[in-house]
Amino acid sequence: MRKTPLALLAAALVVSVTAVGTSAAPPGRFRPAVTIGADGNEPLIRSAPDGTLYVSALQHLYVSRDAGRHWTQSAGSPYSTTLNQNSDSSIQVDAKGRLYMTFDWPYAGATAVCTSDDHATTMSCDPSAIPGGTDRMWIAVASPTTSYLVTNEGLYQTVFSVSTDVANSYAPRQTTAATVADPTDGPLLVSPTTGAVVQPIIDNLTNQTATDNFESGTGVLRVFDPSATGTPANVSKYPIPLTAGGALPGAAYGKDGTLYVTAEKAIRGNGGKIVGVGVQVARSRDDGKTWTVLPMIPGTAKGTSTFVALGAGKAGHVGLVFYRASVAGNPGTVPASTHWDAVYAESTDALSAHPHWTLTTVDEDAHVGVICATAGCLGSGRFAGDFLDTTFDAKDRPQIVWMRDTPGSATATQIRYTTTR
């Protein structure tokens, strides 16, 4: 479909967000957290080569041109309109600084794709890049001309599509068999060294469900073939040696081509009762064919961790952001009085057999109560949607986003951000 330029909307729609809502300065190298905005959740963050930062949060898009100190909600994006409420979304930036965005148009409708070369001041969009009723789309960029797109057609069956014309059109190349539909799927990734295209998922149809509905099975890594032609072929897959956690599987490639995947690991006592939920990472040097499971992140064996997201930078440099409570148990059934912090774990030697990790609480009391994910989760427990995010910029500095309850409100939330000083 022909793209339609979206002009800059009325100036009244542009919301300048200054460094309000700061928390106490975390120890060491991190800045005090700032509130990016109050619209949306499920934040994803990406950094452009020139340092521009983008955060998508459902239908909303935020931009910072000053290293995250101040944020503006983009009026050039359909995310900021009321038409597209509660959309899934995904963003990427290519080597030339072009922004790519994909989302529902409207929710559970066709998958749209937009690009921008002017820091999201204006957008060029195809509102029906993938037609039909779609859900949980992810975009990945291989080069300034080639990008990949996955979306769940009919809400449950994943279709993998390829564009070689700067996102002007996408051609379906592969699909999943009906027996591996209904996924809980993580980000679409491209190896910077081999060009492999992969996606970690949890297969909800074939996993065995635990008695407490937590850790429903092992992860799976899909491996897509961009060169496939003709009738869309089935997708290859490899097992991931981590159990499914409470949210989408986190994953990233490091600049050296090492693939990292993370999830929570329940520690069970007598009778199978959960006595702790820790954080684990597995790495692969061959695009998921073989894996090394790393020791549990120190300090996470007690209490509960959930919604673990992962970013990777230079060789061995890995960062994790997650919610952490001192109470042990299924995050969806913990007591209503449970307090959660936003925590960042960082390692610069994640290629070793026993990496060293530094844990920093970047936001205290980010949430009180249960935390749950996916469509079966309702109420304040889904304050964060299904995920949060972290990445590294061109200078290998961590960029971290998460959700926080708005102080004094039972329902309002804030998108929060920090980086190093």
Q: Where are the domains of the chain?
A: 181-387
Question: Distance between CA atoms of 111 and 105, rounded to whole angstroms?
Answer: 6
To the nearest whole number, what is the mean pLDDT of the chain?
Answer: 87
pTM (whole model) above 0.75: yes
CA distance 147 to 167: 7
Q: How confident is the model at residue 344 (pLDDT cuts 50, 70, 90)?
A: very high
Q: Which amino acid is at 70?
A: H
Instruction: With CA atoms as reference, report the closest residue to 261 among 289, 247, 280.
Output: 280
Average pLDDT over residues 296-303: 94
Interval 96-113: pLDDT, tens:
999 999 998 778 889 999
- The tens digit of pLDDT for each residue in 137-188 reads 999 999 999 999 999 988 888 899 999 999 999 999 998 865 455 568 899 9
The whole-angstrom separation of Cα 413 and Cα 385 is 11
DSSP secondary structure letters along 373-386: -STT--GGGGTTTT
Average pLDDT over residues 250-268: 95
Report yes or no: 87 and 98 within 8 Å, Cβ to Cβ: no
H/E stretch holding 366: strand 358-368
Give the pLDDT confidence score for residue 156 in this predicted structure: 82
Sheet containing strand 34-37, strands side by side = 34-37, 413-419, 398-405, 389-392
Phi-psi region of 385 (alpha: psi -120 to 50; beta: other; left: phi over 0): left
∠ CA 168-170-174, rounded to 5°: 165
